Amino acid sequence: MSADERDGAPKRGRPRDATAEAAILRAFFEVVAEQGYPAATMDAVAERAGVAKTTIYRRWASRDALMIAAHGLLTDENPPPDTGTLRGDLLGIASLLIENLGRPPLSLVAAATIGEMAHNPDLAALFRAAVVEQRLAMLTEIFERAVARGEIAPGEDWRLLSEMLVGAVMFRVVVTGERVDARVGATLVVALLRAIAPHVDLTRPLGGADDLLAE
């Protein structure tokens, strides 16, 4: 959301270019992905967006304001999966996760954002509230539905178990730099199910993730 939009738009004069705002925010993330936050200067963003620097300053008061505004757009619109089984829901989550972060450019934006959050408390608070907690809540909801169905026992630390899944994907993407595909996601889900629900078939090795993918 840009810094200034009040009540009824003032009607006189040339209207603002409706496409510029999206182009600027998009350009910001493009530069971040390619060269990191410090390289996303106002000049670089303006040039990438195809607008003049003054056009950016008409919408946001400073570079910090632009940065904060850009991250307001990162909320995930994908609805949380609800397949009726814990296994199906977790596979759905893994699929969403890998689709979003498994490859550039979003994997690079994620890595850069982690680095930026370490010394930018405002951005960290916003990103955690608008993105991280939202998605972890999706996982908590999935586990609670499974408990309500009697599929698993209550009382576990669902948040920490969720972080094993999300963390493993994130680790591969931003630390080792390896690509993550659906196969990896399925293997992680199998391991997680074993850790949670003792009554799943424990005789199959984790390679049995193929069975899940085939469904």
Partner DNA sequence: TAATTACGCTACCGATCCGTTGCGTTATTC
Partner DNA sequence: GAATAACGCAACGGATCGGTAGCGTAATTA
Task: Lay out the site mask for DNA across 56-95 (x = CB under 7 A, - = otherwise).
Answer: -xxx-xxxx-------------------------------
- Residue 57 or 197: the one with the smaller Cβ distance to DNA is 57
> Binding of DNA at residue 26 (CB under 7 A)?
no
Nearer to its own copies, 55 or 74 (CB): 74
Which of 121, 130, 115 shows the shortest CA–CA distance to 35?
A: 115
C-alpha–C-alpha distance, residues 76 and 78, integer Å? 6
Count of C-beta atoms within a 10 Å radius of residue 35? 14
How near is the Cβ of 71 to its own copies at its closest, in Å?
14
User: Dihedral (C-alpha) 170, 172, 174, 177: value to the nearest 10 degrees?
Assistant: -160
Task: Pick one of DNA, its own copies, none as the site partner of residue 16 (Cβ within 5 to 8 A by kind).
Answer: DNA
What is the C-alpha separation between 46 and 57, in angstroms, rounded?
10
Which alpha helices (DSSP H) does the chain contain, by range? 20-35, 42-49, 53-57, 63-71, 86-101, 106-117, 121-127, 133-148, 158-171, 182-196, 209-214
**Partner in contact with 117, chosen from DNA, its own copies, none, beta carbon below 5 to 8 Å by kind:** its own copies
Q: What gap in Å lies between CA 96 and CA 102, rounded to an integer?
A: 9
DSSP letters for 129-147:
IIIIHHHHHHHHHHHHHHH
Shortest reach from residue 162's CB to its own copies, in Å = 9
Which of DNA, its own copies, none lies near 202, with the C-beta cut-off 5 to 8 A by kind?
A: its own copies
Helix (H) or strand (E) holding 104: none
Closest CB to DNA among residues 11, 199: 11
Q: Does 44 bind its own copies (CB under 8 A)?
A: no
Q: Mask 138-157, x = binds its own copies (CB under 8 A)?
A: ---------------x-xxx
Residues of the shown chain interacting with its own copies in the complex, contacts defined by CB under 8 A: 33-39, 108, 111-119, 124, 128, 132, 136, 153, 155-157, 160-161, 163-172, 174-177, 184, 187-188, 191-192, 194-196, 198, 202-203, 205-207
